[in-house]
Structure 1
Amino acid sequence: MVDLGDVVLDDPVGESLRGRHAHLARRLGRAATYLPGVATFSTVSTDPDPAEWADLAQLLGRGELADMFSSPAVPPPDWEPVFVLEGRQMVWSGGGEAGTGVVELGADSVPEMLDLVARTRPGPFWPRTRELGAYLGVRENGVLVAMAGERLRPPGWTEISTVCTAPEARGRGHAARLVRALAARVTARDERPFLHVAEANTQAIALYERLGFKTRKHVTFRGFRIP
């Protein structure tokens, strides 16, 4: 049974852009997307009409990617599918201790963060993505080897994202440490953590389940090329 408090998770991009990420939004009519360099996610209403899709196309530009995240809305037939990825949305159910041995990553850490993302490919991360929320890392001998951060922020919730560890530093519990540390920060604000994970990433799903996350629903991530 779905809690009334988690209905906002059905449209996490839209809820974030209308709320705590409004200062990072570009908007035209009811269509909205993030500023360049922050994130590529876009949103439309639950039942968009052709004019709303036209607004999103104008907002993004010809030939650009409309990253619809988990929105089930069906775009115009001439919008070319670019990717489809099956995934799941998981919510934290409590438990566990706060992670230790992590450091806060500021603007001066962006080059290292981009390098780590390029090596591990945890999902989209851009030069300004860290503006979405707090990002934490683990350093070994001064080198950034693992990180995770806060991304979408619908009311009452914060998404944990970009969980990644360099190949040479895996198996040392860094991902668990970072997720626990972020979960502790989120709950200290009287919010609940949630996250998204690719269905094929069974190892990550198992880790998140051990850390107290439970599957809320299965989702499909989709992107389209604007003609």
Structure 2
Amino acid sequence: MSNSVHHAPSPSPTEPHILDNAAWAALTGPHAHLAERVGRAARYPTDVSPFTALDDPADPRAWDDLAALVGPGTVTPVTAVQTVPGGWEIEHSGEGVQMVDTALYAEPAPETVRLGPADVPEILGLIALTQPGPFLPRTVELGTYLGIRDRGRLIALAGERLRPPGWTEVSAVCTHPDHRGRGLATRLVRAVAAGIRERGDTPFLHAAASNTHAIRLYESIGFTLRRRTRFALVRTPDGQQETQDGEQQEAGQREERA
């Protein structure tokens, strides 16, 4: 059963870990059917998730592919990056934490309901009120989303987002302010984790480094800090310099032919 304590695998600390670039691993793995991809860059459809990812953030060719994928002068979020190449700009960046299940007690919650496309307007309303992170009209396609209703009204939810091979991210954990303090978020996280465990994956999650309340909650129920993360909103080169360079090269070729 899924309610036993589960210990995440511990790879060698000298080897790259699949969760170091979780979005890329998901977009080229279990979520490949959703991926929009150009070479070494990939993203989700813009109404599914804002995530874009690079095969290797240290490879300039991956950044060129990302620029081709999203277009010139476009602001896009990128994960697992520390710096950007020349011509790119960091519009905003933030610090976060990545936590993995090492001792979580997971169990189904009979009071939860499976949420689907028909529930999206209500989900978006709760997300707007509680701000757990981005949620878009087709985010429910990423995995299982569970909710708790009170007299028909959606008051809490949690679900699955990134799916690197062998792992599934718990995401969008939120509770209506009028119903906090009842343990609804914990029950939902345990229930979502139970479903993740049933298919053999290990739960993990992300939280803003400043959200100390959430981090303490996750630690108290069996998640362990794996690493600190950084996310960035970056602006792609506007293409003007490339156009100028191309025009100059063309003009030089015309002069040579003259």
TM-score (norm 2): 0.83
In structure 1, the partner of 2:252 is none
Cα shift readout 1:45-104 (whole Å, capped 9, x = no counterpart):
2254433312211211223222112x1253223322222111110000134251422111
1:31-42 equivalence runs, <5 A: 31-42=41-52
Instruction: Report the structure number with the largest CA radius of gyration.
Output: 2
The answer as to 2:69 corresponding to 1:91 is no
Cα shift readout 1:139-195 (whole Å, capped 9, x = no counterpart):
111001111110000111000001111111111111101000011111111111000
In structure 2, the partner of 1:143 is 153
Secondary structure at the aligned position of 2:135 is classed as coil
Could you tell me how far apart the structure 2 residues matched to 1:192 and 1:117 are? 25
Equivalenced residues, count? 225
The answer as to 2:10 corresponding to 1:3 is yes
**Is the 8 Å Cα contact of residues 46 and 73 (structure 1) preserved in structure 2?**
no
1:1-227 equivalence runs, <5 A: 3-4=10-11, 7-69=17-79, 71-72=80-81, 74-100=83-109, 101-226=111-236, 227=238
Could you tell me how far apart the structure 2 residues matched to 1:110 and 1:89 are? 27
Could you tell me how far apart the structure 2 residues matched to 1:95 and 1:36 are? 33
* Runs of 4+ displaced beyond 6 Å: none
Secondary structure at the aligned position of 1:4 is classed as coil
Q: CA RMSD in A?
A: 1.7
Amino acid at match of 2:194: A
CA offset at residue 41 of structure 1? Answer: 0.9
The percentage of counterpart residues that share the same residue type is 48
Distance 1:204 1:47, change over 3 A: closer
Could you tell me how far apart the structure 1 residues matched to 2:78 and 2:52 are? 5
**Is the 8 Å Cα contact of residues 99 and 176 (structure 1) preserved in structure 2?**
no
CA offset at residue 127 of structure 1? Answer: 0.5
In structure 1, the partner of 2:6 is none
Amino acid at match of 1:3: S
Give ranges in structure 2 of 5+ residues lacking alignment.
1-8, 239-258
Amino acid at match of 2:101: W
Secondary structure at the aligned position of 1:160 is classed as strand
Distance 1:111 1:47, change over 3 A: closer
Secondary structure at the aligned position of 1:177 is classed as helix
CA offset at residue 210 of structure 1? Answer: 1.3
Could you tell me how far apart the structure 1 residues matched to 2:189 and 2:156 are? 11
**Is the 8 Å Cα contact of residues 89 and 197 (structure 1) preserved in structure 2?**
yes
Give ranges in structure 1 of 5+ residues lacking alignment.
none
Could you tell me how far apart the structure 2 residues matched to 1:17 and 1:213 are? 24
Distance 1:47 1:136, change over 3 A: closer
